[in-house]
Structure 1
């Protein structure tokens, strides 16, 4: 609750006040009333008015019955001056009569405190707390119901603690007062601000308000409340941009500064922990500078203030306030009790007389309200009342009992005191074991320490069946969540939108009318929440609520708003374009349906077609010298092997499978070995033919005849067949997904399980090719008009160059391009052999038939 008038209490409390306070609790009345009057007069109180009722047991009451003036900053260069309290506060007056009503209700109860009449002695807190606790008839007050603020609660508890006098507060909510080691005699019927701060933090988190401002009272209430709020939001992405404090002594300048801060800030949601009179000053300052688009969150100190709700001057600024309020309850019979109050029936009630004069503008002097001496002191210039004045049917905050909040806390406090007295006086365990720690007493000899012992363990039940007990200083926390909404008259009204029960919050969001006048929740952020697909990147040197949004990298996603980290997708998945979901990677392989696959397939088929055409030409002209002179049998076998080389490249295109992976490498290795073997044997034939031309060497040509030539080709080819058979039987290539560099695609390829096997296949082809190149190079200058060794030399140079370049290109190519490189090497080397060896021959056969004669071929 608010501590609106206490900051000056520490600096302005007279030296005699504490002594008076102690004397009032334990002393006698003799001579004390004179001292009281003097001190109260110096303090600036309007008077030492009080309300009392005799009884066997008297309980004390302390209420802010008069409006507390703005504190004056003392510079101690002159005698301190304190502005007197003026004007009855109808709400506080209602609290006082709730206490009186509860005492009368308890006295009518035959089961609670039977045979014991309960009385009270109530003072206005503006007259000094010591004045309020003066005893009645010399009997000490064993329990005090009061402390309308946390600071006063701290003072009273520390002062009365050594005397073990229980203090039951109805409005002091500071969490610090829950510390039993420091305040063992303090109790309250209002929840600790811990629960209020938790509820406000939950509202901020629920509505995604991450950038908030706060205005607090510069006292225990304000500082400890905002501290509790900061503890609740820690680590939950909510930040406070500013905390403005307002002081009683400098209220005008402080409220103006706070309003300008709110205007300049980017926050749209502001918490206010202040007393309602100070909130009004802040709202008036905001109205002056036309700031009407802020959403205010109210503490229970002002969230239900009727003075603010009915103030047209601040209605635009205050519209849409969302607040935490003390739980509203009803007290059956209390409204009728209030409306039947009349000075005629309560001649000693000075507060009611003053209220009557203020409300009806007349003085009920026809009724002997006071003694002659007091009448002379209270003489007014008001006309006498007609006697028809009544509170029945009167529409006034004083008679409004539709929402009893603090008043209900007072009611609970009185019943807590009554049940404690009942427990103390009834003594059900009086004859039980002496180990019982609770002592018993009689109405005339009640000791505060005995009452304190019972108060710690009492279970309270009101006539309405409401049950509670003190958990330390506190009772179970319950709040209402309220919303200030516009009315046709221009004023504001309270609308219940939810409730808080301990640490459980229930809210009807659809019932809220926000400061914007709509149902759209206000946005109050330093940085907009990062959408899915991005992550939060904090700005250096700024609060965690101020950040940038960085897109997730490829292969990473964030599928929630405000994510601080991007998660990497599983290996078989990849991020979508928005980086919000992992999707299965697209299987990629060299397909017949894509341009690259179509191009390579066309080149392979074209090569096989050209080879077939050459074969047909050679077959048609097989009797001509050009065909016969170059070993026609090996030429035909070479053409067949070339055709196989072209066609085997087609096996590398398409979706890899187990058998395709095995067969493509075997077909490639065997086809090329067959091709190179034919060239090698052709080269050997050329060398042997020229060697046999020498005297005595004819037998060499006979020895290396057609049979041996065919056998040599088969032998060289069988070696490759054996290598392939062992390789494919032990560790064959298998289809495998390549998750390497293709991002959203996973390449399906034939993985070489054994690099050794593939290396042996290529190495053997390379060995034959190098041997063939070397022999052809040696035979290139042999005397002949058409020496085929020259063509073989040139074709093998191309062949070797292609395959030497193939190795690094194969190793460095990503994904399906590995297959494309191998196909290109196959086609390039095959075209090289086909064109270099057979193109000149076909040119002579088809276009220069005159050169296709034995005479021309034998010419040197």
Structure 2
């Protein structure tokens, strides 16, 4: 075999070239071993048998070919340096048949051109992928990997996406863990929120004890009687569930978030609605529809109404669980890709709207009944107290939907918890607070005679 050098050739016009390469030719050549026939070159059928006969030594290496023409062993690429009289053959590369790898010995290569700079594309910067340009693999464009992707060294032509719990900036070679955000116990807003919930819980317990001691008095009876204790129990459960909004969400805390306050508030609103309706009925509807009023009182219509409302609320809640399971999920923050919010479910707004639909209807109905009773005796006029409760509910509801339409994540959780505390305080202090004030500071107004006088004065004004 007589090695000779030739420029790296190539693959067509405009193809990239890099330096030079050497490739061996066989000696004796096909022209010597296969005679030409009728002036035409040797065909494959004539060349293959002669290739099989090749068997010689070169640089203490045995050169031969297999039956199909491939070499059974690894081979080396030799450069013949014509200008050297001694040791003109230099090993410049070797190919491993087993590993299928070509290894160069660059220090042994002798270049025959003054400029050895490759005209292939330069290596890409870290975090840039290669985009092939042209036919040759050494020509490519460098494209930056986008944010949220990274360049894997095993694939220089494609940017790989980061997992959901990781992030990356543009031109990254790896992904980084996201900072998981949730409402933490040590935050200042959380401490204030829990402080108000504890104060509300203490106030509600004090109100419950006060009403239990004075349950036989007219003030307690006009406030709803036994229904008051159902409302107070719901308020206590609501305050106890406020801490469920703090800490790492779990399936249990997510269930509590979507059920506790919603059910408790529905019970309270339904009691206020039926209480307002009964007061209006006593002074107005009883005279217009005495038979209907007697049936209402005979069959305890107020408890039937509350039971139906609670059953309807449970149905809505279960349906909401089926459509939007309250499981914690990770939500990426658009304004800060390095963080992710841990929230109860992706359809939080729709779930909140479904749970609030019945409450909004009852609130409107309660407000209408209280407005109808604004001319009733002062002892039975609940309009201003109920208006205060409904105002707290409406304002907090509008605020939470405005926040949810613009933001997502921890701020939504915080606003939802604040809405819960505001509404619970609105009913506990706004509705029951004035009645406790009468019981403690104006006991003379908490007598049957005082209430009877107020009713007589109202009747005389109506006449």
Compute the TM-score of the two structures, normalised by the length of structure 1. Answer: 0.38
CA drift of 1:701 comes to 7.9
Of 192, 199, 205, the residue aligned with 1:612 is: 205
How far has the Cα of 1:694 moved from its partner?
A: 6.5
Deviation of 1:778 after TM superposition, in Å, equals 1.2
**Residue 267 (structure 2) pairs with residue 668 (structure 1):** no
- Alignment deviations for residues 107-139 of structure 1 (CA, whole Å, 9 cap, x no partner): xxxxxxxxxxxxxxxxxxxxxxxxxxxxxxxxx
The answer to whether the 8 A contact 2:277-2:369 is kept is: yes
1:690 corresponds, among 283, 287, 290, to 283
**Hey, what does 2:359 align to over in structure 1?**
765
Q: Structure 1 CA distance, aligned partners of 2:389 and 2:57?
A: 112
Query: Secondary structure of the equivalent of 2:146?
Result: coil
Shift of 1:792: 1.1
Aligned mate of 2:327, from 716, 729, 735: 735
Q: State how far apart, in whole Å, the 1-side matches of 2:240 and 2:282 are.
A: 33
Q: Contact 1:648 / 1:667 at 8 angstroms: preserved in 2?
A: yes
Residue equivalent to 2:429: 835
With over 3 angstroms needed to count, the CA separation of the structure-2 counterparts of 1:755 and 1:819, relative to structure 1, is: closer
- Cα deviation, 1:66-116, whole Å, max 9, x if unaligned, reads xxxxxxxxxxxxxxxxxxxxxxxxxxxxxxxxxxxxxxxxxxxxxxxxxxx
Contact 2:128 2:171 in 1 (8 A): no
Instruction: Provide the TM-score with structure 2 as the length reference.
Output: 0.65
Instruction: Name 2:345's counterpart in structure 1.
Output: 751
Q: Which of 203, 223, 235 is 1:630 aligned to? A: 223
| Matching residue of 1:428 | none
Secondary structure in 2 matching 1:679: helix
Aligned match for 2:382, one of 788, 792, 797? 788
Q: CA deviation at 1:735?
A: 1.5
Q: Distance in 1 between matches of 2:438 and 2:146?
A: 63
Spell out, residue by residue over 1:193-236, the C-alpha distance to the aligned partner (whole angstroms, 9 max, x if none). 1xxx34xxxxxxxxxxxxxxxxxxxxxxxxxxxxx379699468
Structure 2 unmatched ranges of 5 or more: 40-46, 65-74, 82-86, 110-115, 133-137, 458-463
Larger Rg belongs to: 1
Q: Does 1:191 align with 2:10?
A: no
Contact 1:689/1:701 (8 A) holds in 2: no
Within 2, Cα distance between the matches of 1:640 and 1:698?
33
Task: Identify the structure with bigger relative contact order (alpha carbons < 8 Å, sequence gap 6+).
Answer: 2
In the TM superposition, what are the counterparts of 1:67-216 in structure 2 within 5 Å?
Answer: 189=2, 191-193=4-6, 197-198=7-8
Cα–Cα, structure 1 residues 611 and 532, in superposed 2: closer, same or farther, change >3 Å?
farther
- Aligned partners of 2:3 and 2:79 also within 8 Å: no
Q: Is the 8 A contact 1:739 1:746 kept in 2?
A: yes
SS at match of 2:167: strand
Contact 2:400 2:412 in 1 (8 A): no
Verify the 8 A CA contact 1:683 1:775 in the aligned structure 2: yes
- Report the number of matched residues: 414
Residues 252-401 of structure 1 mapped to structure 2, 5 A cutoff:
none
Q: Is the 8 A contact 2:330 2:342 kept in 1?
A: yes
Structure 1 residue aligned with 2:373, among 772, 779, 804? 779
1:800 counterpart (394, 403, 410): 394
Give the match for residue 479 of structure 1. 78
In the other structure, the counterpart of 2:461 is: none
Please give the alpha-carbon distance, in whole angstroms, between the structure 2 residues aligned to 1:790 and 1:477.
99
- Aligned residue for 2:306? 713
In 2: Cα distance, 1:562 partner to 1:464 partner: 39
**Aligned-residue offset at 1:619:** 3.8
Equivalent residue, structure 2, for 1:18: none
Pair 1:618–1:526, CA change in 2 (3 A): farther
Contact 1:588 1:746 in 2 (8 A): yes
Contact 2:234 2:267 in 1 (8 A): yes
Q: Which residue of 2 aligns with 1:582?
A: 175
Q: Which residue of 2 aligns with 1:278?
A: none
Give how far 1:814 is off: 2.1
CA contact 1:736–1:751 (8 Å) conserved in 2: yes
What secondary structure is seen at the aligned counterpart in 2 of 1:781? Answer: coil
Structure 1 position 674, deviation (Å): 0.9
SS of equivalent to 1:191: strand
**Structure-2 separation of matches of 1:838 and 1:651:** 25
- Cα contact 2:22–2:77 (8 A) shared by 1: no
Whether 1:826 and 2:425 are equivalent positions in the alignment is: no
Matched-pair contact (CA < 8 Å) for 1:497–1:508: no
1:562-608 deviations in Å (ceiling 9; x for gaps): 95653322445433798222356555544546555555444433332
Counterpart-to-counterpart distance in 2, 1:498 and 1:233: 30
1:660 CA drift (Å): 4.2
Looking at structure 2, the residues matched to 772 and 656 of structure 1 have their Cα atoms a distance apart, in angstroms, of 34
Aligned counterparts of 2:300 and 2:312: Cα–Cα separation in 1? 18
Match of 2:240 in 1: 647
The 3-state SS of whatever aligns with 1:479 is strand
